[in-house]
Amino acid sequence: MRGVEYEKAKRVMQDHHEEIESRYHPVAGYGIGSVVAPEHLDEAHDEVFGIHVFLEDAGGLPTTPQSIEGVPLHFVVTGPFKPF
């Protein structure tokens, strides 16, 4: 799945944060990041961003590719985040 420009990813994340938190529960956090593998960055175009969703466990992990308004969602199971 191809990424989008940073500003679009940012807007979609802000507009849909409640949907992300409720649909993919338990969400530990989320943010904007590259969706291009590091070895392909030199080949990438400007549109390389997506929303990274960090999950506390694999229970909310989707089995098919997901996107919102054309912005790809990338999922990583991290466990809960803990403050220092």
All domains of the chain, ordered by start, with CATH?
6-77 (3.30.300)
Q: How far is 61 from 47, CA to CA, in rounded Å?
A: 25
Mean pLDDT by 10 residues, the chain (84 residues): 86 96 92 78 69 93 94 93 80
Contact 75, 62 (CB under 8 A): yes
- What is this structure's pTM? 0.84
Q: Distance of CA 8 to CAs 21, 50, 61, 76, 83, Å?
A: 19, 9, 24, 21, 30
pLDDT digits (tens, 9 = 90+) for 10-19: 999 999 999 9
